[in-house]
Structures are given as C-alpha cells and as structure tokens.
Amino acid sequence: MPYVGTLIGDKVVVFDLGQSKQLYALGYFGKPVGESKPREFKSPLELSLVEAVYLTRRQDLRVLYQGEFLDPEELASIAQERVSKFSILSLVYEDLREKGFVVRSGIKFGADFSVYTVGPGIEHAPYLVIGLDIGQEIPASELMGFGRLSHSVKKRLILALVDEKARRLKYITFKWERV
C-alpha cells in the first residue's frame, strides 16, 4: 500500500509519523522536518518534488493536492513549473537510484545532489553530482569552481550530462589532485 503525502509549495509532506519512518527507512527518502541528522525522528517527512515524482512513478507514494490524488504525470507537470531544471534532475535522480545509490540534496555543497553508496549517517557522501544539459557549455571558471568546492569537502565531482530527448545520461567524474 503506498504512502500518502500532501503537496505544499515545492515539497511533499508525509504527515503520518509511522509512514514517515517507514518511507525514510526504505532508502533514506526525504528529510524529517526540522531535523538535520535524523536518527529517531518525531516529525513529518519532507520530500523534494524530484523524490516525490520518483516515488509516485514507482507507486510507493500517492500525493494529495487540493483534496485530490495526483497521478505521477500531473505531479511531474507541477514539479516542472516549480523546480528549476526539473526534467534534468529527475532523470539523474532516477538513474542514480536505479543504480542503487542513495541520492540526497547537495545544495549545501553547491551541487544538485550528494550521493551515498550506503547512506547518510553511515558514511559521508563520496560524490557530488551536478546535472547539466548535454548541449550546455560550461565556462572553465565555473568548472574550476565546482572542482575547488568538491575538493575542499573531500568529495568526487560528477557531471551528469543529460540528453533529455533521448533520455540518456553520460557521467564525467573528476578527481582533483595537487601537482
């Protein structure tokens, strides 16, 4: 039976505490509201729209909006309006999750995602991922900025290059070393 969340702004909130705990335990989905490092949490679970769309497409989550349940494509359409680069981020998120990684927001590191091989609280995320359109040009200064940041927090930088029309991704991994 799918979990139930409510669309509020650019987040989906699972208010039922039992469901929140179970959904988080399924694969570190979401983040308990107001808790930075959840161990045993006592608050609703907040999901990004990227996570919520992924979970609705897998039929693990149903999302209420204005008293009605949204189908996955209705939710994706709303997310497209509310989240910058949604289609790119959604493809990257889904691909990484399907490969078995735990994918969390990377905003505090200046990236789209922090990626774990095991999970938060068990390890530090070894990777930062930035999703880009495959045709997008990146100034060298911006690439160097990405690299400096990832190096300073001891994480590998991965650029996820997305061809939206073909729904294909290519990954480029950087490791910055002193010379």
pLDDT tens-digit series, residues 70-94? 999 999 999 999 999 999 999 999 9
This model's pTM is above 0.85: yes
Q: Which domains does the chain have, with CATH numbers?
A: 1-83 (3.40.1170.20), 85-179 (3.40.1350.10)
What sign has the CA pseudo-torsion 147, 31, 74, 100? positive
Cα separation of 155 and 151, whole Å? 6
Q: Which of 52-66, 110-124, 139-153 has the lowest mean pLDDT?
A: 139-153
How does strand 3-8 pair with strand 61-65?
Answer: parallel
Task: Read off the pLDDT of residues 18-60 as tens digits, 9 standing for 90 and up.
Answer: 999 999 999 999 999 887 666 677 899 999 999 999 999 999 9
Beta-ladder partners of 85: none
Query: What is the 8-class DSSP label of residue 91?
Result: H
Torsion, Cα of 119, 29, 38, 11 (10° steps):
140
Beta-ladder partners of 160: 131, 171
Catalytic residue ranges: 116, 124, 155
